[in-house]
Structure formats: C-alpha cells, structure tokens
Structure 1
Amino acid sequence: MSAALPIPTAALPPAAPGTTRLYIRNMVCPQCLRVARRELEQAGLHVEAIALGAADVRPTTPGQPLPPPEQLQAALHAVGFELVDDPRDQLVEQTKALVVELIHYTPADQQPLLNYSHYLSQRLGRDYAYLSHLFSQREGLTLEKYIIRQKVERAKELLSYQEATVADVARQLGYSSAAHLSTQFRQVTGLTPTQFQALGPGSAGRRSLDDVVR
C-alpha cells in the first residue's frame, strides 16, 4: 500500500543550521510535496523539511556543496516547478502558499476567525498594503482577486460532491451568505454555483491551483 500523501502546510520552522531554504513555485498540493521531495533527493539532497512553496535541504554527504542552481532548476522544471531566487518573488510565493493552505487544506472549524488581510500580515510579518502592492506588481493580478479565485476553485471542489448545498459551501468558505458566494462565483466562472453543480462531477473544469493566478 502506498504511503498517505502529506497534508500540505505553508509553515516551516526556521531553517535548521546547515540547511538551505529553497523557494519553489507551483508546489500547491499533497502530490506536489511528494514529487518535489523525490526530485530534490535524486539531485543529491537530503530534504530536512518541506511545505507548500518551500523546502529546507542539505547535501546528502556532509561537507559537499549544493548542486549548482541550474541543475536544481532543470530537475524541478522538468516536473512543473521552478526555483524562486528573487526575495520579492519569494514573498509572493509565500503569500500564495498561505492562501492555498488556508482555503484548500485547513478544516473550516480550524480556520482563524480573521480577515485575510490581517491573517496574511500576521503570518508574513509585513504590512498588508505592501503585500498587496507587491503581489499586483509581480503577478499582474490583485491579491484580493487571487483570494477570490482560490475560494471559487475550492467552492467548485465542494460543489462537485453533489450533496453539498450552496449555503453549506458558503458557510465553510466564510462567506456572509450564499448570495455573496454566488455573486463571486458567477463573476469568475460565468455560472451560478447551482448551474455549475447541475453539470455533474468533473464536467465543468476545475483549474490547477498553480494556474489560478493566470
């Protein structure tokens, strides 16, 4: 029997001495963690810790240098990932990872009773206005719209289970009402949640989470 996929998290403790933190774009799901770990290990690295958007690594053989960045970049690019070197882009990737973690992988009853701006500012230790400006500058999409798109993708997943009602989904995603969810859902997809659900499982095209920014 194959091992269970890890539950994704965007949180890593401070990097341990002797390790290097790599920031990796497009790591957004449980399978992503497994694939990224495999590629890093095949490149000769020991993965000390891994989370959405980041991995702490060290050489398998003590005293050896890390593989050249271009080698790691090529290995990760072959499976759809990308090393992120620019500190500003690293912060954007951390922001994305936190949004994905909160919306897609945190149980509703464990989600913080905070608005997203306060939550992201608190977790990243940066003013939300700065985070929002940087996100828009680097991604060509406002952070608010990114959050809405991720919530709509999560709503699609929940609605595809068929037994979920629009009101249930709205409540789980923190909307003030089913009407609020329906408005945002229609703005993004052109359909109401009810129309989407009527299409049946798998027929209306959920998007890859790393593609939502596009």
Structure 2
Amino acid sequence: MILHIKYMVSLCCKTLVQAILDEYDIPYKSIELGEIELKSAISDEKRAELKRALLKSGHELMDDRKAVMIEKIKGAVISMIREPNEELILKVKHSDYLSKKLDYDYTYMANLFSEVTGVTIEHFIIAHKIERVKELLLYDELNLTQIAESLNYSSVSHLSSQFKKVTGLTPTFYKQLKNKKRTILEDVGKI
C-alpha cells in the first residue's frame, strides 16, 4: 500500500515521517520524498492517527489524485536539482526527464501543475535551481563554472542572468553579502 505525503521535501522530512511511523507501529517497506510504501494496509483508525500526527508535524496525508500528482512533480523536480544523476549530465530536457521519471505526458503534467499551483513547472524548476545556486555559493566549495555545470546550465552567463532576474543580484554580489537570505525549501516556487 502506498501513501502520499504533502510537504515531504527533504531528508529531515523523511526522518520525521519515519519517526512517526515507528511511534505508531506502522510497518513500512520504504520512505521516499512524498511517498511511503507500507508493508500492508492499515485500519481506518490507524490511518486517522497517522493523518493527525502528520498534520502536527507540518505534513499532510493526501487522498486527492491531483494533489498527489502535484507532489510527485515537485518531488521529482527537487530530486532532479538536489541529486543530479547521469541523465542530467547528458543534458536531458526537463520535460523529458519528468515524463520518463513519472511516466506521464509532460503536457498533461504542465497543464495540471499550472492549474493547481498557479505557477508553471519551468518557473518552479528555475526557483529551485536558484535556491540551489544560493546554497552552493554559501558553501563556497565550487566556483561559478562548476555550479553552472552541476545544475545543467548552458553557461555561466546563463546562470548569472537567470540568478539576477530572480534575485535582483549577481551571483558574485550575493556571495559577498553578509546576511544571505535563503528561502525555506517548502516555500520555493510560491508566489
């Protein structure tokens, strides 16, 4: 049995959800971003307990098919940016990557995403890429060329112009700021 969890977008979220499952003695096979695979079906009473516990932790058990699809898209985008793999290194288009990963037509996903969130998938991807650039600039382990390459930008100038368009600052100026403002991962891409 698979359950879908809203706002489960980081390793910390996975750890928190795992603790909740353990606390309520709900056996599971795996926990992924936005998704839990249970070993067996649970009673309505257990499901209600889990739903309440997840809400207290800032997560939500989802039943709506559209909401589940939106969370799958968000999870795939976040994974694509935060955990790049060989497909991205080969410069696969975002639309192709998402279609293959989620096994849905990209046009369907893009229309649904825009309809439900009010933001395009591409805008959501850009917002997350810029947040990742900010994070990598904070770590100061990679130079701008390496960051551009790791996030599949065609060039440093493309990264810089997109960064400036979104933040109003150049990456170099941002890096020099003392109080760097980052957005909470769950809020990235919201208007």
Query: Above 0.5 in TM-score?
Result: yes
Q: CA deviation at 1:48?
A: 1.3
Residue 172 in structure 1 maps to residue 172 in structure 2: no
**Which residue identity does 1:208 align to in structure 2?**
I
Residue 36 in structure 1 maps to residue 17 in structure 2: yes
Aligned length: 189
Partner residue of 1:190?
Answer: 168
Equivalences for 1:125-136 in 2 at 5 Å?
125-136=103-114
Q: CA deviation at 1:121?
A: 0.8
Moved over 3 A (4+): 66-70, 109-112
Partner residue of 2:37?
Answer: 56
Q: CA deviation at 1:205?
A: 2.0
Partner residue of 1:7?
Answer: none
Q: CA deviation at 1:41?
A: 2.2
Q: Is the 8 A contact 1:103 1:154 kept in 2?
A: yes
Gaps of 5+ in 2: none
How does the TM-score come out when normalised to structure 1? 0.81
Residue 46 in structure 1 maps to residue 32 in structure 2: no
Deviation digits for residues 14-44 of structure 1 (CA, Å, limit 9, x no counterpart): xxxxxx2110111111111110111122223
Q: CA deviation at 1:105?
A: 2.0
**2:53 match: secondary structure:** helix
| Identical-pair percentage | 37
Deviation digits for residues 167-204 of structure 1 (CA, Å, limit 9, x no counterpart): 2211111111111111111122121111111114xx21
**Aligned-CA RMSD value:** 1.9
Q: CA deviation at 1:97?
A: 0.6
How does the TM-score come out when normalised to structure 2? 0.91
Assess, with a 3 A threshold, how the Cα gap between structure 1 residues 110 and 116 changes in structure 2: closer, same or farther.
closer
Q: Is the 8 A contact 2:5 2:35 kept in 1?
A: yes
**Which residue identity does 1:31 align to in structure 2?**
C
Q: Is the 8 A contact 2:89 2:152 kept in 1?
A: no
